[in-house]
Structure 1
Amino acid sequence: MSLSERIIGSNQGLLAEMVQLKYTAMSENAFRFFRGTCELFYQDLKLFKQLPASPLAWICGDLHVENFGSYKADNDQVYFDLNDFDEALLAPVAFELVRMLTSIFLCFDFLELEEVKAMNMVQVFLKNYAVVLTTGKALAIEPRIAKGIVNTFLQAVCKRKQSRILEKRTEVRKRKVVISLKDERHFELEEEFKKELTGHLTDWIKLHNKSPYNYKVKDAVFRLAGTGSVGTKRFMFLLESELKRGKYLIIDMKQSQPSALIPFVKVKQPIWATESERVVFAQELCQHMPCALLSHTNFKGDSYVIKEMQPTEDKIKFRLIQDQYRDIYQVIDDMASLTAYSHLRSSGRKGSAIADELIEFGQQQDWQEQLIDYAFNYSKRVKKDYKIFKQGYESGIYSKGKITNTPFVVFSDK
């Protein structure tokens, strides 16, 4: 099967117009191409028979340097942690680690940093991951204990006000605060569909124990965000307090798809009522504290994850610190700790290895070089595949993919 057939096949069933935007994003550079082709990564990983044996854990499934960030939890504390669990599954931890290592090689290449620095950094990541595993204790990274650039980052996001996100996402139209359609990531909804959607969220607010009580829905749009998830149905809602005029919340509602790992993980999985139940279970388990309002719902035959969008949500922008090697070192070191904490938190749950098995794995050394070698070689393959994809994209191959569209999004330039 050709690369183009594999890519088009992995995006079947998604929203056609949005998939075209995904392809555009993937054409920017090899690192973003990697972020948009998680399924291809696992198709190729299946062929690598010598991947070292490793304990089972609840893994993020799509771990890379852009899937760590800040968020506010239900306890109003801001944390730095893993923050994307769309692909989460019970799987060998080696799967998680080798994808993360590959992302470091590709990110450093994107930043035009020397290959030797990337190699040093993947060694730093694995060394600290193993050391943290051997402690058997899962901690958290929050402003009071964060170090270096991560501390500076968290202190900065803590000072942001809700007005910041409102200024970026909303506008006043006909004397009403609504979600801005000037943002190229926001798309207008058909009126009848919008009515059904806002009615569903209104019911969720009234009936769900995780919902923000005494709020009403004021507006809704289709939202475009990320890279790998572009093409899924995703909506953003503006809510206003019924008790305090002018107090707003913004809610994200994202469709969940089956995990890209499912065909390649030969481990019996729990039976979930919906894909969103799986995602929320893994996120609640693996994060120190789940993000605010995290829950799931079903709408018109699809399942969705719901969470609050916050001014404290952000990612480390590596482009801004590419000349600050010590800061990059600290960030990668912290990401290694967070990955180990995540696996330790999931220990002994629904088939995952107990903490003692993870500790023993961390004490071993032989598996580290094997993962580094695979990630290094695979990063070279990703760059070659990216060049082939870019040529195909520019020649129009990917505009011919016949992907079933759905009628509810109205593309408007209002």
Structure 2
Amino acid sequence: MAETKVEHPGVQERVAAGKALRETTPVSSHTGWLPAPDRPDPLALLEEQNLTRDQDLVPVRHGRMLASPFTFFRGAAKVMAADLKDTPRAGLGVQLCGDAHLSNFGLFASPERNLLFGLNDFDETLPGPFEYDVERMAASFTIAARNNEFSNKETRTVTLTAVRAYREAMAGFAQMRTLDIWYARLSEDLLQTMLAGEASQKGKSAKKARKAEKAVEKSAAKARTRDSLQALSKLAEHVDGNYRIVSQPPIVVPLRELGDAFGMSADEVQQSLHEQLRSYRATLQADRRSLLERYQIIDAARKVVGVGSVGTRAFIVLLQGRDQEDPLFLQIKEATRSVLEDHLPRSRYAQPGQRVVQGQRMMQAASDIFLGWTKGVQENRYLYWRQLRDMKGSADVEAMRPSGMAFYAQACGWTLARAHARSGDPIAIAAYLGKKDKFDLSITDFSERYADQNERDYQGFAAAVRSGRLAATEGV
């Protein structure tokens, strides 16, 4: 097997390489974005995705996307991927999240049980140009701010804050040692320290910071309650001396009620579930594999999650350790080809579940100890596994006011830069971005224009629902 040679250019070479790219792709080149003349029909792209999804859940997906232009944007990653392929790129690659909108950031627990803030969705992860993630993140802030009825000035400030935070954080990572970048993380304590610094000032900004500080404390406290015991109280019932998952169709449907939909008997469902668990367990580290072997399967169900992923296969599995008060809930999600693979080189991993897991491990400061993958029972179905609730917490985006969203934008921008610095070249990226705000302004201009396009797409989507072209079930 041929050995791959890894080049190690010096710092000055990397700086020079980054600066040279400004000549071929100016940092201001994102200004003035317009949709391509041959832009695909967004509805056709969504319908294409629906073909491989559980058909009874497709109307639920449409109903969730119909709630607002912001929820439509969340579900339209494939549409934006098609638009991004024509945007300028400097040629600096990173591991992309692929769907870095602001609702895909949040709190989660490290293996040491500390709360961290970071990216938490990697269904579309793939190596690619760093600009793609920055553009999707920035556009999501513009769209969310408009959805919350911020003024034009407030919306622009929030978006600029997110991009500036990314650029300035990347400049900081460019000065750090390699291992220090790898260990960098945005902890709950650091978030509180940042807010406390703002709150110590005088005037309106201090009052807003204290309000944001209380919101972070409330979110963190809620996240700490979200574990398998809490999930047991919410999702299971005691029947004949044993726990089982409660049927709450169409959101939660136990596998005992789904066998016919998959063309399998109840016994075949149970057998395949145990086979899947064994296959998944083999993808874990030896110590974690040994830990998981202490649990036995009690029940499983299909559970609908998210917006864009509705209709892809998603399940929960209830396992039991020492006794009935020692539950472990695992979540199983279907992994398909990344929407970016339509326009970028295909993943090095033939198994999409492995693509998701390896991308997450590369980008997250700390990953779930039970993160693994397997091939589904049916042909061309691939899955990845993780804990269902591991002190996960998300921000209530639609309740944010301008000051709160601006602080959140800072956290997201820093986090995305850290994720990119782990897999890309922070020195070259920082040198390319520069010290001035040209990149920030250019991406913000792109975001405003893309938000306009998203609004037009949303209106077309809503019209398709009204006409009967697309079926939608709202409020589920």
Question: TM-score surpassing 0.5?
Answer: yes
Matched with 1:363 is 434
Deviations 1:23-82 (A, max 9, x none): 11111111111111111112122344xx25252110100110110112223333221110
Q: 1:205 to 1:298 in 2, by over 3 A?
A: closer
Mapped partners of 1:291, 1:311: distance in 2: 8
Q: 1:141 to 1:183 in 2, by over 3 A?
A: farther
Are residue 199 (structure 1) and residue 274 (structure 2) matched?
Answer: yes
Instruction: Give the secondary structure class of the aligned counterpart of 1:316.
Output: coil
Matched with 2:252 is 186
Instruction: Give the secondary structure class of the aligned counterpart of 1:144.
Output: helix
Deviations 1:101-136 (A, max 9, x none): 111111112212222211101111111111110112
Matched with 1:123 is 160
Which structure 2 residue ranges, 5 or more long, are not aligned? 1-39, 193-212, 260-265
Would the aligned equivalents of 1:142 and 1:154 in 2 still touch at CA under 8 Å? no
Would the aligned equivalents of 2:373 and 2:384 in 1 still touch at CA under 8 Å? yes
Q: 1:156 to 1:217 in 2, by over 3 A?
A: same
Higher Rg of the two aligned structures:
2
Would the aligned equivalents of 1:185 and 1:224 in 2 still touch at CA under 8 Å? yes
CA RMSD for the aligned pairs? Answer: 2.2
Would the aligned equivalents of 2:280 and 2:385 in 1 still touch at CA under 8 Å? no
Amino acid at match of 1:335: C
Q: CA deviation at 1:246?
A: 2.2
Matched with 1:105 is 142
Are residue 256 (structure 1) and residue 320 (structure 2) matched?
Answer: no
Give the one of 295, 300, 310 matched to 2:389: 310
Are residue 387 (structure 1) and residue 459 (structure 2) matched?
Answer: yes
Q: TM-score, normalised by structure 1?
A: 0.87
Would the aligned equivalents of 1:72 and 1:310 in 2 still touch at CA under 8 Å? no
Mapped partners of 1:234, 1:124: distance in 2: 35
Are residue 25 (structure 1) and residue 50 (structure 2) matched?
Answer: no
Amino acid at match of 1:146: L
Would the aligned equivalents of 2:220 and 2:393 in 1 still touch at CA under 8 Å? no
Give the one of 137, 141, 147 matched to 2:186: 141
Mapped partners of 2:251, 2:268: distance in 1: 19
Q: TM-score, normalised by structure 2?
A: 0.76
Matched with 1:237 is 317
After superposition, where does 1:148-159 map in structure 2 within 5 Å? 148=213, 149-159=215-225
Instruction: Give the secondary structure class of the aligned counterpart of 2:188.
Output: coil
Are residue 177 (structure 1) and residue 243 (structure 2) matched?
Answer: yes
Q: CA deviation at 1:203?
A: 2.1
Q: CA deviation at 1:205?
A: 7.2
Q: CA deviation at 1:151?
A: 4.9
Q: 1:245 to 1:179 in 2, by over 3 A?
A: closer
Mapped partners of 2:450, 2:374: distance in 1: 37
Would the aligned equivalents of 2:464 and 2:470 in 1 still touch at CA under 8 Å? yes
Mapped partners of 2:435, 2:99: distance in 1: 24
Would the aligned equivalents of 1:130 and 1:362 in 2 still touch at CA under 8 Å? yes
Amino acid at match of 2:245: I
Instruction: Give the secondary structure class of the aligned counterpart of 2:144.
Output: helix
Q: CA deviation at 1:327?
A: 2.4
Amino acid at match of 1:165: A
Instruction: Give the secondary structure class of the aligned counterpart of 2:191.
Output: coil
Q: 1:244 to 1:174 in 2, by over 3 A?
A: closer
Q: 1:47 to 1:77 in 2, by over 3 A?
A: same
Which structure 1 residue ranges, 5 or more long, are not aligned? 348-353, 401-414
Mapped partners of 2:242, 2:46: distance in 1: 43
- Aligned-residue sequence identity (percent) comes to 19
Mapped partners of 1:64, 1:359: distance in 2: 22
After superposition, where does 1:28-107 map in structure 2 within 5 Å? 28-48=67-87, 51-53=88-90, 55-107=92-144
Mapped partners of 2:252, 2:342: distance in 1: 33
Deviations 1:176-229 (A, max 9, x none): 211111364112321245313422244247655344231000000111000111
Aligned length: 387
Matched with 1:412 is none
Would the aligned equivalents of 1:286 and 1:343 in 2 still touch at CA under 8 Å? yes
Would the aligned equivalents of 1:68 and 1:315 in 2 still touch at CA under 8 Å? yes
After superposition, where does 1:204-353 map in structure 2 within 5 Å? 204=279, 207=282, 208=284, 209=286, 210-211=288-289, 212-241=292-321, 243-265=322-344, 268=345, 271-300=348-377, 301=379, 302-310=381-389, 312-320=391-399, 322-323=400-401, 325-347=402-424
